[in-house]
Amino acid sequence: MQIAQNSVVAFHYTLTNDAGEVLDSSEGRQPLTYLHGAGNIIPGLERQLEGRAAGDKLNVAVSPEEGYGEVQPQLVQEVPRDAFQGVDNVEPGMQFQADTQGGPLMVTVTKVENDTVTVDGNHPLAGQKLNFDVEITTVRAASEEEVQHGHVHGEGGVEH
């Protein structure tokens, strides 16, 4: 069975950047399971899995435009240390949920200087070209309920 709209796909992957560093991998875990055509995974990966089948191994390169987007400089902001009340020690690498005009946004602290904290709301993988080593393990048709919900139920999916 080939991957098409409303296929439920499970695959193992290793994600590396252009420097060859491993950023993420499903090794030692359950394969990643998603509903094809529902925007569950980044567009560039979804598009290149189309038409593939269980057992296929492939290498998929994804540009930032089809991945996590380009880095948006306006998402890097300086905020006063006072904005972090209740947090004893604000340090680079900490992540917070920020309320923005566009809704909640996960931001990462990148710099702390005196009373000023620099936060970055870009996805950590924004602006990066991504290389996925993919091995497709299973492909099946989605149930009607899965299609309605826009996600996978059962193993590797949502339990509810």
Q: Are 71 and 122 in contact (CB under 8 A)?
A: yes
In angstroms, give the least distance from the CB of 37 to Zn ion.
16
Give the residue with the Cβ less far from Zn ion, 81 or 149: 149
Instruction: Based on the shown chain and the rule CB under 5 A, indicate whether residue 147 belongs to the binding site for Zn ion.
Output: no
Give the residue with the Cβ less far from Zn ion, 34 or 132: 34
Give the residue with the Cβ less far from Zn ion, 119 or 152: 152
Q: What is the DSSP string of 31-70?
A: PEEEETTTT-S-HHHHHHHTT-BTT-EEEEEE-GGGTT--
CA–CA separation, 64 vs 61, rounded Å?
A: 10
Instruction: Based on the shown chain and the rule CB under 5 A, indicate whether residue 149 belongs to the binding site for Zn ion.
Output: yes
Residue 136 corresponds to which amino acid?
I
Which one of 82-90, 96-104, 126-134, 152-160 is the stretch in contact with Zn ion (CB under 5 A)? 152-160
Instruction: Based on the shown chain and the rule CB under 5 A, indicate whether residue 81 belongs to the binding site for Zn ion.
Output: no
CA angle 25, 15, 44 (to 5 degrees): 125
The residues pairing with 106 across neighbouring beta strands, listed in sequence order, are 97
Give the residue with the Cβ less far from Zn ion, 22 or 158: 158
**Strand-by-strand arrangement of the 95-100 sheet:** 76-80, 116-120, 103-113, 95-100
**x-marked contacts with Zn ion along 98-137 as a string, rule CB under 5 A:** ----------------------------------------
For Zn ion, the nearest residue by Cβ is 149
In angstroms, give the least distance from the CB of 144 to Zn ion.
11
Give the residue with the Cβ less far from Zn ion, 87 or 158: 158
Residues in the chain: 160
Residues that bind Zn ion (CB under 5 A): 149, 158
